[in-house]
């Protein structure tokens, strides 16, 4: 048999010794540390856990190895008279988790609605200028939309064979006025039915011959918003010539989404601004709300009627309104911050503080949510006035409940406390 040389033997012995040392370091010491850690938690009255990772448990303060948050203490002591539905937290734990509470008081549920919209023509002020006699348009005095027309102004001239014939009949009736005054009166009345004034009829009689081109006078004041005729068009009696709108009063129409309709009603005051007048505020009241939802935009229109001296407000100007409203049919509501509510999609829960100030106990309570109020919710079921709820730090309370095996958001029935976080043993 060959003898093993000395350098080889020394290398083998060194390797064996190092292997034994590292094996003890990783397995022996780590196991001892973990056993000591678990023993200290079993005998201690407090366990330190992470509010975001309740599976992390230590017997002393520190940081969560998963997220780095400060660990909070949870009382793990058993008590025969302890309420199985409540979870206890020490004052130290509440301070570290920044748990805040508030007492529910009576109050009105109000919501600030921000609405956008536009200035629009008051539909009630829109009128149509029609032709009162048939004929051909020989001349137009109004050629573009946007022009202002005053009542009595000449807007067009027409040639009407029918009117020429009626004037000739008037002259014949005038000759027999002394013998047949009724015929003369009937001829004049016929012209009046075509909206000719007494002065126009007198001018015809003074001229002594028919006028071939006859002026059409405007019946109303307003701004032309739609021009419907062109030079040379033949028009019939009753034909629409122009559409005119009186802008001395306009509508402010706001878009209201269906989710906000419960918060708005006729008579509500609203304050709004107009892009064209930065820094200037306008006030009004909601006078009408559409009884239907636009199927394309999914909004209803809320209307404010406002005076418009000097036609300062122009149709299609953009407006932004702010309305502070109370929910319809509600005099007092339970309103809680959204930070107080834990929501799983199917269930909404809050934590209610026990009236025993020394125990610092909290019990999970399922609630029914009403409308959202920005940073708050209306609670329709599950809470009552005078109760004290957690408004900040609910996740910390819930983590403590999970650790203690009490009902929690994810485990509403409660159960065995979660296993400790094993970070020392390797298998």
Distances (CA, A) of 20 to 11, 15, 26, 31, 136: 14, 9, 10, 15, 117
% pLDDT > 70, the chain: 80
Q: Quick one: what percent of the chain has pLDDT higher than 90?
A: 39
Average pLDDT score, the chain: 81
Number of other CB atoms surrounding residue 137 within 10 Å: 19
Please give the angle made by the CA atoms of 400, 402 and 406, to the nearest 5 degrees: 95
| Identity of the highest mean pLDDT range in 52-66, 141-155, 320-334 | 141-155
Give first-to-last CA distance, the chain, whole Å.
Answer: 41
Nearest to 291 by CA among 324, 317, 258: 258
Given the DSSP bridges, would you call strands 110-121 and 318-326 parallel, antiparallel or unpaired? antiparallel
In which band, very low, low, confident or very high, does the pLDDT at 392 lie, cut at 50, 70 and 90? Answer: very high
Backbone angles phi, psi at 310, to 5 degrees: 75, 10
State the Cα–Cα distance between residues 39 and 26, nearest whole angstrom.
Answer: 20
In this structure, the strands spanning 110-121 and 249-257 are: antiparallel
User: How many Å apart are CA 10 and CA 280, to the nearest integer?
Assistant: 94
- Per-residue pLDDT for 242 more than 80? yes
291 touches 350 (CB < 8 A): no
- Residues 6 or more apart whose CB falls under 8 angstroms from that of 359 comprise 86, 88
Which of 102-111, 236-245, 380-389, 391-400 is least confident? Answer: 102-111
DSSP string, 179-201: T-HHHHHHHHHHHHHTT--HHHH
Q: Which of 45-59, 74-88, 92-106 has the highest mean pLDDT?
A: 92-106
Q: 40 or 376: whose pLDDT is higher?
A: 376
Nearest to 343 by CA among 370, 374, 363, 367: 367
Number of neighbouring beta carbons within 10 Å of residue 426: 9
Question: How far is it, in rounded angstroms, from Cα 57 to Cα 395?
Answer: 16
- Identify the sign of the CA torsion 396, 400, 405, 407: negative
**According to the model, what pLDDT value does residue 8 have?**
53
Tokens of 158: 């027409």
In this structure, are residues 340 and 100 in contact, taking their beta carbons and an 8 Å threshold?
no
Q: Which pLDDT value is given to residue 230?
A: 94
pLDDT tens-digit series, residues 166-207 = 888 888 888 888 888 889 889 888 888 888 888 888 888 888
394/405 Cα distance (integer angstroms) = 16
CATH 2.40.420.20 assigned to domain 45-108+330-427? The reply is: yes
**CA gap 411, 223 in Å, rounded:** 69
Q: Per-residue confidence at 23, pLDDT binned at 50, 70, 90?
A: very low
User: With bands split at pLDDT 50, 70 and 90, how would you rate the model's confidence at 91?
Assistant: confident
pLDDT band at 88 (very low <50, low <70, confident <90, very high): confident
CA distances from 54 to 48, 69, 214, 404 (A): 9, 12, 94, 10
Q: Scanning the structure block, which residue is given the tokens 């702010």?
A: 322
Taking the C-alpha atoms of residue 103 and residue 107, their distance in angstroms, rounded to an integer, is 12
Q: How confident is the model at residue 333 (pLDDT cuts 50, 70, 90)?
A: confident
Pick the more confident residue, 327 or 57.
57
What's the distance, CA 313 to chain centroid? 26
List the chain domain ranges: 9-43, 45-108+330-427, 113-123+247-326, 132-238
Residue 319 backbone dihedrals phi, psi, to 5 degrees: -130, 155
Which tokens go with 193? 């039915």
CA-closest candidate to residue 307, choices 292, 331, 287: 287
CA dihedral 259, 265, 266, 269 (to 10 degrees): -100
- Ranges of H-type helices in 69-180: 91-96, 161-175
CA–CA distance, 373 with 394 (Å, rounded to integer): 20
Greater confidence (30 vs 179) lies with 179
Backbone phi, psi, residue 237, to 5°:
-60, 125
State the fold for domain 113-123+247-326.
Elongation Factor Tu (Ef-tu); domain 3 (2.40.30)
Residue 40, by phi and psi: left (phi above 0), alpha (psi -120 to 50) or beta? alpha
User: What pLDDT is attached to residue 273?
Assistant: 97
Q: What is the pLDDT of residue 18?
A: 44
Opening angle at CA 323, ends 319 and 326, nearest 5: 160
Contact 333, 108 (CB under 8 A): yes
Strand 126-130, strand 240-245: pairing: antiparallel
């Amino acid at each position: 048999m060959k003898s093993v040389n000395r350098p080889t033997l020394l290398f083998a012995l060194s390797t064996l010794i190092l292997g034994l040392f590292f094996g003890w370091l990783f397995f022996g010491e780590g196991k001892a540390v973990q056993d000591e850690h678990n023993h200290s938690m079993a005998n201690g009255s407090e366990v330190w856990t992470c509010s975001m990772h309740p599976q992390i448990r230590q017997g002393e303060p520190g940081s969560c190895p998963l997220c780095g948050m400060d660990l909070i203490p949870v009382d793990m002591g058993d008590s025969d008279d302890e309420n199985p539905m409540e979870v206890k937290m020490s004052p130290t734990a509440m301070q570290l988790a920044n748990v805040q509470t508030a007492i529910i008081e009576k109050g009105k549920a109000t919501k600030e609605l921000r609405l956008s919209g536009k200035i629009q023509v008051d539909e009630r002020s829109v009128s149509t200028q029609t032709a009162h006699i048939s004929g051909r348009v020989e001349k137009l005095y109004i050629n573009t939309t946007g022009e202002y027309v005053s009542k009595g102004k000449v807007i067009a001239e027409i040639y009407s064979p029918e009117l020429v014939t009626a004037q000739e009949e008037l002259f014949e009736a005038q000759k027999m006025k002394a013998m047949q005054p009724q015929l003369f009166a009937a001829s004049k009345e016929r012209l009046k039915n075509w909206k000719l004034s007494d002065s126009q009829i007198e001018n015809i009689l003074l001229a002594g011959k028919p006028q071939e081109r006859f002026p059409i006078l405007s019946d109303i004041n307003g701004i032309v918003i739609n021009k419907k005729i062109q030079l040379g068009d033949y028009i019939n009696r009753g034909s629409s010539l122009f559409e005119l709108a009186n802008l001395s009063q306009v509508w402010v129409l706001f878009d209201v989404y269906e989710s906000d309709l419960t918060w708005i009603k006729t008579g509500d005051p609203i304050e709004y601004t107009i892009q064209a007048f930065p820094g200037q505020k306008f006030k009004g009241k909601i006078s009408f709300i559409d009884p239907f939802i636009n199927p394309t935009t999914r909004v209803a229109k809320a209307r404010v009627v406002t005076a418009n001296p000097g036609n300062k407000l122009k149709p299609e100007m953009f407006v932004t309104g702010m309305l502070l409203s109370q929910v319809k049919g509600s005099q007092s509501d339970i309103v809680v911050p959204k930070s107080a509510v834990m929501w799983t999609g199917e269930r909404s829960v809050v934590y209610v503080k026990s009236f025993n100030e020394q125990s610092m106990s909290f019990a999970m309570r399922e609630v029914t949510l009403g409308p959202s109020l920005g940073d708050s919710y209306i609670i329709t079921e599950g809470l009552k006035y005078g109760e004290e709820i957690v408004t900040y730090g609910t996740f910390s309370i819930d983590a403590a409940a999970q650790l203690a095996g009490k009902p929690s958001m994810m485990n509403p029935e409660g159960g065995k406390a979660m296993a400790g976080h094993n970070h020392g043993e390797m298998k």
